[in-house]
Structure 1
């Protein structure tokens, strides 16, 4: 046997050994995960089904009602990621409900990293609107050997995901749900306009110039998402613009209701703002020019 042949045979044997070692390690992790998951299920007296192909466990708690949801249908859904010890890692809010096509519900960005969690999409496809389910992903289908330090996930952690699909199927229905919950949670008293915007005027102002869509207004304002996240703040009166160029919600509510010195709180659905989610404004009118 010449040197080239011996070298090739050695390389082949080495590669086979490495591959075999990696395979055994991978299978070992799967086995350890499965033992831990089954122990969790048994200790909590849960009834869960094991997916025969991928090895995750799931339980449809509430199947939901209505037509079967197709991958091309829009869904608004909820999720809560937890460790087996109950520690919550990441969750949605009823005030900021995510929505996408059902076929894309396996795509996540968590801690600045993109992930594809196929079991989440597969379990959601088992639900109709209003349905809920629980999922346990073994570590190789979740954050793997590296974990994710940004949300305190260690190496080879098994992950529980509580899932739900909201009954609302349209963006304006979700807006209404979010806004109503926000107002109820914060015990606010607000007037509902025919545009579906809500407003509360604490001071109508003392100016003599009536605001129209053709007015130029200067204002102080604070803009928040419904979860309280502040997006923009202006406190020095430096913001000004023609009302007809500003967000639709301002155009519909400000005219005839406030003038210079006026203060109000304004909550607008997504179609009267930037098209993505309801917005919560505190507004003070500094000046009005007609």
Structure 2
């Protein structure tokens, strides 16, 4: 009897090793819960706020909320098929962290495969930040509860923004100058000639990033490749031409042009009030300070009093 039990134990260990510590769920779903908190499991219709990294089994990251600087909110929907990612999330509770592994073939039977995708699995690394159970709440009360939670979260982000900027400047040892508007700047390499004026057109290279270091936009192809930005081959990379004072870029960048001359290389730390505001945009969260590294390639003075149009829209 003992020998049989030992054999069964060895078989179980062997199976666990083959799956890399993952347990098996419905339809081939594999999951590994690293932090397992007590509490009710997430149900369909519950509100979930989670950080998420999606990657293939070669560790090539397809999406990361950490890079975006904000966790992702959702109302947990019904599974699209048995054993999908939403079934995986239902194994978790608030505070849990886990990896959920799905067969790429199963997923891409139902949706297009991303260009250049390689691998046999899609892996979701999930950290559940907050759960608001729907329970017996009416839809109106449920939505009101979610709205209050998200509003409180946004208020906290607004309060923390100046602290994050201060800590970032200290950590990076930046010798900044602060303008009356709240813009921070550092001249890394002085230029020559007169300062830029409103109505001039500046030709600049730029790289924009969040304070966590994630690059979200750049005019420099090498920087885009380094940051693994999408659409690398589709976009023509070139210095941006923008009319100063025409409000065609974020206010913080527009203001910075008046502080520099041709040839200047400089860095600006832009509070959200001079950038993307309370709502953010694209990969930029609300109340997020941003960093731009810029180089003024040329300054073109208007002819006949008319400034040239910008070739890049407001980011």
2:102 to 134, 137, 147: 137
Q: Distance in 2 between matches of 1:60 and 1:74?
A: 17
Could you tell me whether the CA contact under 8 Å between 1:223 and 1:281 is conserved in 2?
A: yes
Alignment TM-score, normalising by the size of structure 1: 0.51
Could you tell me whether the CA contact under 8 Å between 1:206 and 1:259 is conserved in 2?
A: yes
1:57 to 16, 20, 30: 30
Specify the alignment match of 2:125 in structure 1: 162
Specify the alignment match of 2:16 in structure 1: 41
**How many Å apart are 1:58 and its aligned residue?**
2.3
**How many Å apart are 1:247 and its aligned residue?**
1.1
Could you tell me whether the CA contact under 8 Å between 1:263 and 1:282 is conserved in 2?
A: yes
Q: Distance in 1 between matches of 2:110 and 2:97?
A: 29
Specify the alignment match of 1:120 in structure 2: 85
After superposition, the C-alpha distances for 1:170-221 in whole angstroms (9 at most, x for unaligned) are 5994996xx98xx79x96736385978653212455555585xxx2242232
Structure (1 or 2) with the greater strand fraction: 1
Could you tell me whether the CA contact under 8 Å between 1:139 and 1:145 is conserved in 2?
A: no
Alignment TM-score, normalising by the size of structure 2: 0.48
Could you tell me whether the CA contact under 8 Å between 1:63 and 1:128 is conserved in 2?
A: no
Specify the alignment match of 2:51 in structure 1: 77
Specify the alignment match of 2:203 in structure 1: 220
Tell me the SS of whatever aligns to 2:127.
Answer: strand
Specify the alignment match of 1:200 in structure 2: 186
Tell me the SS of whatever aligns to 1:88.
Answer: coil
Q: Is residue 2:59 matched to residue 1:88?
A: yes
| Structure label with greater radius of gyration | 1
Tell me the SS of whatever aligns to 2:94.
Answer: coil
Q: Is residue 2:228 matched to residue 1:232?
A: no
Query: CA 1:119/1:145 → structure 2, altered by over 3 Å: closer, same or farther?
Result: closer
Q: Distance in 2 between matches of 1:120 and 1:76?
A: 13
Could you tell me whether the CA contact under 8 Å between 2:204 and 2:239 is conserved in 1?
A: no
**How many Å apart are 1:133 and its aligned residue?**
0.8
Tell me the SS of whatever aligns to 2:252.
Answer: helix
After superposition, the C-alpha distances for 1:148-190 in whole angstroms (9 at most, x for unaligned) are 572123xxx45443223579955994996xx98xx79x96736
Q: Distance in 2 between matches of 1:81 and 1:204?
A: 42
Aligned residues: CA RMSD: 5.5
Q: Distance in 2 between matches of 1:192 and 1:117?
A: 57
Unaligned runs of 5+ in 2: 1-12, 131-149, 221-236, 285-289, 306-315
Unaligned runs of 5+ in 1: 1-37, 108-114
